[in-house]
Amino acid sequence: MTDPKSPQKMPYVMQVEPGTYAWCSCGQSANQPYCDGSHAGTEFRPEVVKIEETKNVAWCGCKRSAAGAMCDGTHAKL
């Protein structure tokens, strides 16, 4: 598997409303941290995350988190 592009070495921390979100796993999306289809033709696919309640979320910005869409601090080691 090819390494994803890291658009930033920190999480995208934001308040999100209940709903379904497609987190960009390739790092190519112009709509970070969400997928815009830029992964087309690659092995990358967005991670679909369902949020049940309004809350603050730390979406992974380096695209290397072992927790997928959620930041786990991996960016600090890059």
pTM, two decimal places? 0.94
Write the DSSP assignment of 7-75 as a string of letters.
Answer: S-SS-EEEEE-SEEEEE-SSS--SSTTB--STTTTSS--PEEEEE-S-EEEEE-SSS--TTTTB--SGG
User: CA nearest 27: which of 78, 53, 18?
Assistant: 78
Q: What percent of the chain has pLDDT over 70?
A: 99
Q: Where are the domains of the chain?
A: 12-77
Which tokens go with 62?
């380096």
pLDDT tens digits, residue range 29-64?
999 999 999 999 999 999 999 999 999 999 999 999
